[in-house]
């Protein structure tokens, strides 16, 4: 029994591709929720989903040129992220509308390019749903480098990001360049999404970005706690998804997304029962939404 469990857990790593997949899964599982903490508290979930879909044309160009998707998708992702913000600012239409327009247009362009490209050697399903088992050594090194870059930039702008997220007007008053901070965040978001597409796929990268961070938000009291708990849940989801992908021959994106969703559902149940128990002890109303506290 114990032997078979060890075989199940350790056995796969006799293959080098599984070691590469494990490294990328852990990176994605940790990175996404750290950034996801900002995404959920700033209300950027739709932006994240849109960005993931919008990098498709960049990835197709990379495949056509025979280069790593990073080299085309990263600049494309950053360009789209900046475009989404500036279209809304310049035209005066709501930001979610400009995101919707660019999201659909870019994804459609990517699909048309895929349909018309004859000499492209890529499985569309892997691109859309993720296939972490297929990452190359170059992908691993580039992912490690980009992860280090993302963490360094996030560390540097953390205080500015926290201030602009909590109190955007007050942040401007003390001289924080809120527009620049927003652009930096969007550029990082584009980077993380491109790293994560390898594991989670275009369609489900959202699950890694938002779901573990949302579970962390329910469990943690402070913002840094949301990041830490989210990263633990993200890593657990990604690695469990990797095993499911290997043993059950599933695309890695749906496997990771399902594990993350199950953990989130469990978190909601645990939190609700804890609140009900606490209310029973001190007579509070457990279902008071955040921000609805008494005045005076």
Contact between 2 and other proteins per CB under 8 A: no
Please state the closest distance from residue 254 (CB atom) to other proteins, in A: 29
Site string for other proteins, 41-60 (x = CB under 8 A): xx------------------
- Is 132 in contact with 240 (CB distance < 8 Å)? no
CA dist 206 and 40 (Å) reads 11
Distance of CA 256 to the CA centre of its chain: 12
Please state the closest distance from residue 224 (CB atom) to other proteins, in A: 9
Three-state secondary structure string covering 176-233: CCHHHHHHHHHHHHHHHHHHHHHHHHHHHHHHHHHHHHHHHHHHCCCHHHHHHHHHHH
Q: Which among 44-52, 57-65, 167-175, 256-264 is the span making contact with other proteins, rule CB under 8 A? A: 167-175
Q: Rounded to the nearest 10 degrees, what angle do helices 56-65 and 69-91 cross at? A: 150
- Is 137 in contact with 20 (CB distance < 8 Å)? yes
CA dist 19 and 32 (Å) reads 20
Contact between 66 and other proteins per CB under 8 A: no
Site for other proteins in 214-253 (CB under 8 A): 217, 220-223, 225-226
Please state the closest distance from residue 165 (CB atom) to other proteins, in A: 6
Contacting other proteins (CB under 8 A), which of 116, 155, 249, 282?
Answer: 155
Contact between 281 and other proteins per CB under 8 A: no
Please state the closest distance from residue 110 (CB atom) to other proteins, in A: 33
How many CB atoms neighbour CB 53 within 10 A?
Answer: 22
Given the structure tokens 């695309």, which residue do they identify?
A: 251
Please state the closest distance from residue 98 (CB atom) to other proteins, in A: 19
CA dist 133 and 16 (Å) reads 10
Q: Which among 231-239, 252-260, 271-279, 284-292 is the span making contact with other proteins, rule CB under 8 A? A: 284-292
Binding site for other proteins (CB under 8 A): 41-42, 155-157, 159-160, 162-163, 165-170, 172-176, 217, 220-223, 225-226, 290-296
């Amino acid at each position: 029994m114990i032997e078979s469990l060890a075989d199940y857990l350790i056995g796969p790593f006799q293959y080098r591709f599984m070691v590469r997949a494990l490294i990328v899964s852990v990176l994605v599982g940790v990175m996404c929720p750290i950034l996801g903490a900002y995404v959920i508290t700033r209300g950027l979930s739709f932006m994240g989903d849109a960005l993931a879909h919008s990098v498709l044309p960049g990835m197709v160009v990379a495949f056509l040129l025979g280069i790593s998707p990073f080299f085309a998708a990263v600049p494309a992702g950053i360009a789209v992220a900046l475009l989404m913000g500036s279209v809304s600012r310049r035209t005066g239409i709501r930001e979610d509308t400009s995101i919707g327009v660019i999201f659909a247009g870019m994804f459609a362009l990517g699909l048309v390019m895929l349909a018309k490209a004859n000499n492209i050697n890529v499985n569309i399903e892997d691109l859309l749903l993720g296939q972490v088992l297929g990452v190359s050594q170059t992908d691993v090194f580039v992912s490690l480098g980009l992860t280090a870059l993302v963490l360094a930039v996030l560390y540097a702008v953390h205080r500015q990001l926290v201030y602009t997220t909590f109190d955007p007007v007050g942040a401007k008053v003390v001289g924080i360049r809120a527009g620049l901070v927003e652009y930096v965040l969007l550029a990082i978001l584009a980077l993380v999404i491109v790293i994560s597409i390898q594991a989670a796929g275009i369609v489900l990268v959202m699950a890694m970005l938002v779901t573990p961070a949302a579970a962390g938000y329910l469990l943690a009291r402070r913002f840094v706690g949301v990041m830490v708990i989210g990263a633990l849940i993200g890593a657990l989801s990604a690695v469990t998804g990797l095993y499911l992908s290997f043993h059950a021959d599933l695309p890695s994106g749906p496997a990771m997304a399902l594990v993350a969703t199950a953990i989130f559902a469990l978190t909601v149940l645990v939190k609700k029962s804890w609140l009900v128990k606490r209310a029973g002890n001190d007579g509070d109303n457990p279902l008071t939404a955040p921000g609805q506290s008494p005045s005076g």
